[in-house]
Amino acid sequence: MRIAVDGPLDLQATLESGQAFRWRREDGWYGGVVFSNAVLLRRTARGIEFRSTPEDEEALAEHLVDYLGLSDDLDAIYRSIAVDEHLKAAIRRYRGMRILRQDPWECLVSFICSAWSNVHRVSGNIEAIASRFGEPVHQDGGTRHAFPSPNELAAADEAALRILGLGFRAKYVPHTAELVASGEVNLLTLREASYDDALRVVLSLPGVGDKVANCVLLFSLDKREAFPVDVWIQRVLCDLYLGGAGRKMSTRTLRLWAQDHFGPYAGYANHYLFHDRRLAAR
């Protein structure tokens, strides 16, 4: 099935830029698991071609439009964030990279696992969690696994998660899962909350600091002003914007400065700068 794309889309940058961790590229297709569906998709001259199972492809198409951020007006976003030559250059290189709108639960666990880690290791952690605790989904003779629900991970043993390579992060996942499974924290309702209210709730969860919380808000909870500050972004802000003064600032202070500087789409500015710097370092 095909999805028409109105506006630029760099599918490779969108799926390989460290927002989500379960996409695999092979023979021109990206394979992943979205909303418990095994999905194969690729960019074509006419838009996006995809196959999926078990959900009906026509029904899933609308969800994929949402997931891939295809309703974002990138031209308006670029006009807002292209405030200097650094961002203009990153936009030229990765024009069409979009911010995903992921399942908040999977996104939350993914970024809890990202603390003091890297994209490759987190990808292995999340795939291992799904394979160990998630339901199998079959496609084209292969098997992937849906990401386990909060109830399934609430029942997970910390030792089992450590065996999967989570290290010290293993203790946070079941505790966070219990809060979500019980309904004490409803992640989906945070899409309608203000940035400050959503940030306060996500920061209250075990294993979540300012960087992880802002990742979750940006990549799954519709908070385009969220600005995660990790080591890459800290270097960018210090090297390109703040000089030595930036090295004396806390993560939170850097984030507040950037949100004021880049405006309502600070999260898009963040991700273009992050992706540009990370690839330049390879």
Name the active-site residue from 88, 171, 211, 248.
Answer: 211
Q: How confident is the model at residue 234 (pLDDT cuts 50, 70, 90)?
A: very high
Q: How confident is the model at residue 228 (pLDDT cuts 50, 70, 90)?
A: very high
Domains and CATH numbers, the chain: 2-71 (3.30.310.40), 84-96+224-282 (1.10.1670.10), 104-220 (1.10.340.30)
Mean pLDDT value across residues 26-34 = 95
Q: Is the pLDDT of residue 199 over 90?
A: yes
* Alpha carbon distance 215, 21 (integer Å): 13
Q: How confident is the model at residue 279 (pLDDT cuts 50, 70, 90)?
A: very high
**Residue 2 has which token pair?**
């095909």
* Alpha carbon distance 60, 66 (integer Å): 10
SS3 call for 140: coil
Segment 68-115, tens digit of pLDDT: 999 999 999 999 999 999 999 999 999 999 999 999 999 999 999 998
**Residue 154 has which token pair?**
């609430």
Q: Is the pLDDT of residue 46 over 90?
A: no
User: Would you say the C-alpha torsion 58, 60, 63, 67 has a positive or negative sign?
Assistant: negative
Measured in degrees and rounded to the nearest 5, phi and psi for residue 56 equal -60, 135
SS3 call for 42: strand
DSSP category for residue 82: -
211 given a catalytic annotation = yes
**Residue 26 has which token pair?**
């092979």
Q: What is the pLDDT at residue 64?
A: 97
* Alpha carbon distance 114, 18 (integer Å): 10
Measured in degrees and rounded to the nearest 5, phi and psi for residue 40 equal -115, 130
Segment 158-194, tens digit of pLDDT: 999 999 999 999 999 999 999 999 999 999 999 999 9
Which one, of 277, 201, 257, 246, lies nearest residue 18 by Cα? 277
